[in-house]
Amino acid sequence: MTSTPEPAGTPAAAAGQPLVHLGRVNKHFGALHVLQNIDLDVAKGEVVVVIGPSGSGKSTLCRAINRLETIDDGVIELDGKPLPAEGKALAKLRSDVGMVFQSFNLFAHKSILENVTLGPIKVRGLKKKQAVAEAMELLERVGVATQADKMPAQLSGGQQQRVAIARALAMRPKVILFDEPTSALDPEMVNEVLDVMVSLAKEGMTMIVVTHEMGFARKAADRVVFMADGQIVEESDPESFFTNPQSDRARDFLGKILTH
């Protein structure tokens, strides 16, 4: 273990301090070293797209940031504070970090509207009336307001994922993590979800997006992080990454997916 030079756990987020900081993060799944000395800083308002081949550790990285995956060593800080290990403090942190899953994971026994209001009412302590008003606004924004009283299974994948984004937004998160948000969608539904994500990015939401959608990375990313075999191989702005990748591994990856 290597200690990081910057002071860990300073109280409030000073200007210029990253919103999300990962320092020397390591994780193993058995013998597989899935995250190897990962260093990553994400500034407030930044949109970071993580791409890379399957099994490169990008989903694990994303899930580690709200501790759905624990890490073996290293530090992960949000707003200057290290992630709590368990209990109320961890729940509090998670309420500030939105998460959008590949498989949507809408609460199957609750209506669309209830999916969006559950967190604000039960975690934030909002009055039901206010939570409903805010939820309807968000559902309007992602274009599924007319479906508010339906159950998740009655919606298409694209609609469900947009509801999932509204559910994350309802918590007013500091950052939203997207774990391959379009990978489980039918092709014709990918764009409706990406459009919502692009508009979020334009509004200045801090986003960490694991995706295979190169178009989204080009259009909305401030920075592209390329991972392979548990390591960050390369990171740069999207234009130079896609036109002039520095590493052989990235050139190889891009060559395989961009030739069609």
Positions in the binding site for other proteins (CB under 8 A): 66, 68, 86-88, 91-99, 101, 103-109, 118-119, 122-123, 151-153, 167-168, 171
Closest distance between other proteins and the C-beta of residue 7, in Å? 27
Q: Which is nearer to other proteins, 41 or 96 (CB)?
A: 96
Closest distance between other proteins and the C-beta of residue 244, in Å? 37
Closest distance between other proteins and the C-beta of residue 91, in Å? 4
End-to-end Cα, the chain, rounded Å: 43
Q: Which is nearer to other proteins, 122 or 256 (CB)?
A: 122
Which residue, chain included where needed, has tokens 């609750």? 110
3-state secondary structure 186-222: CHHHHHHHHHHHHHHHHCCCEEEEECCCHHHHHHHCC
Q: Which is nearer to other proteins, 122 or 202 (CB)?
A: 122
The dihedral sign for the CA sequence 33, 38, 44, 50: negative
Query: Cα(125)–Cα(67) distance, rounded to whole angstroms?
Result: 23
Q: Which is nearer to other proteins, 32 or 108 (CB)?
A: 108
Closest distance between other proteins and the C-beta of residue 174, in Å? 12
Query: Cα(20)–Cα(6) distance, rounded to whole angstroms?
Result: 14
Q: Which is nearer to other proteins, 57 or 98 (CB)?
A: 98
Closest distance between other proteins and the C-beta of residue 181, in Å? 13
Contact 25, 75 (CB under 8 A): yes
